[in-house]
Amino acid sequence: MIPIKLSALGIYVPTKVMTNHDIAKIVDTSDEWIRTRTGIIERRIAAPEENTSTLATAAARQVLNKHGIDPLAIEMILVATMMPDTPFPSVACKVQNSIGATNAFAFDISAACSGFVYGLEIAAQFIKTGAVRNALVIGAEVLSRCIDWQDRSTCVLFGDGAGAVLLESGQENCFLSSVLRADGSGQDLLFMPAGGTTLPASIQTVENRQHFLKMKGKELFQAVVPIVCDAIIDTCEQAKISIEDVQLIVPHQANFHIIEEVAVFLGIPFERFMCNLHKYGNTSAASIPLALFDAVQEGKIVPDDYVMMLGFGAGLTCAASLIRW
Ligand code: ACO
């Protein structure tokens, strides 16, 4: 088995900031409600000329430029997203073209908020077997375009952004253990009704607001907490380490209270969970690399730390990956 390391990290967020106060001018809500129910204070909103592939490309460029990597050396590009520019071709192919990574093959992953961790593990399998020497894994979303700005129960939650990492074959293996899970019986807790083969776009689907994200927030909350706890426990068991040994858990940034409940259930101090949703909201597949980036910037991760990335979301899907930093 070929050892794998996570060798570079980059992000991009749109410049436009939308605060809770800004949203309170659009729908019947308040900064106080949003803060206390979710922990979110503001989020970023893509400019009209931006889309998922431009955000993903900007994050990928940061990885390449900051770390002096030749795009021609990239062998694989994966983009995790639930809001591609168009149903096809993939966002990954657009990124490949924009950055000039002409030697890379490229495809998208649809696993909602678990997509980034699914992507890491898929890339890791390719590197482990020697099929490729490196892979660019990107999580990118422009959720502001699939949010119903008349629905206060969802429009307050989401934001736009992108994060990218480079995985490479290395001397020592940093990818210690992982779980990838799915439970399709929870598919109606978070979904978009129209725009696919079930309900192709029509005047009715537009009039019925069926091209917007629909979510049963309370049920989703209750469903994800036990799934997430199991994933953390099983990932640690697989690596034969105790949860206490994990210096930082970087969870999907959906809701402050989900993280709080998981921390209480597992008896882990809340401080060992990275939390930056106050500034970006829920950015689905982008939220883990955005949080990982901030954790590094803030000195919350140092070499040799055990770090667990933890995704959960629509599907339902859940994924955890334990790495040695
Ligand atoms: N402002 C003010 N009031 C609101 C708002 C709002 N933005 N939204 C809902 N309310 C009202 C409701 O109408 C309801 O009023 P009522 O009691 O008079 O009927 C009341 O607030 C409570 O509504 P709930 O939906 O029960 O609120 P809850 O406390 O469950 O919080 C929330 C809602 C924040 C969505 C929460 O359920 C949650 O975070 N769930 C998890 C969602 C999640 O994890 N999603 C992401 C996973 S997948 C992915 O990330 C893509």
**Would you state the pLDDT for residue 266?**
95
The pLDDT assigned to 159 comes to 98
pLDDT of 318: 98
Residue 229: CA atoms inside 13 Å, Cβ hemisphere, count?
A: 15
Which residue, by CA, sits nearest to atom 29 of ligand 1?
A: 37
* Residue 120 neighbours by CB under 8 Å, 6+ apart: 137, 165, 167, 175, 178, 309, 321
Alpha carbon distances (Å) from 306 to 66, 146, 236, 243, 322: 24, 36, 10, 10, 7
Low-confidence ranges of the chain (pLDDT < 50): none
The domains of the chain, with CATH numbers, are 4-173 (3.40.47.10), 176-324 (3.40.47.10)
List residues near ligand 1 (CB under 6 A).
29, 33, 37-38, 112-113, 152-153, 156, 190, 217-218, 220-221, 224, 254-255, 258, 282, 284, 313-314
Cβ atoms of 104 and 63 within 8 Å: the answer is: no
Q: How far is the CA of 120 from the centre of ligand 1 (A)?
A: 30
pLDDT, residue 171, reads 87
Q: Please tell me the residue having the least CA distance from ligand 1 atom 45.
A: 254
- Classified as helix, coil or strand, 206 is helix
* Cα 104 to ligand 1 centre (Å): 42
Two tokens at 52? Answer: 């998922």
pTM: 0.96
Task: Specify the pLDDT at position 55.
Answer: 98
What is the C-alpha separation between 71 and 9, in angstroms, rounded?
15
Residue 126: predicted pLDDT:
97
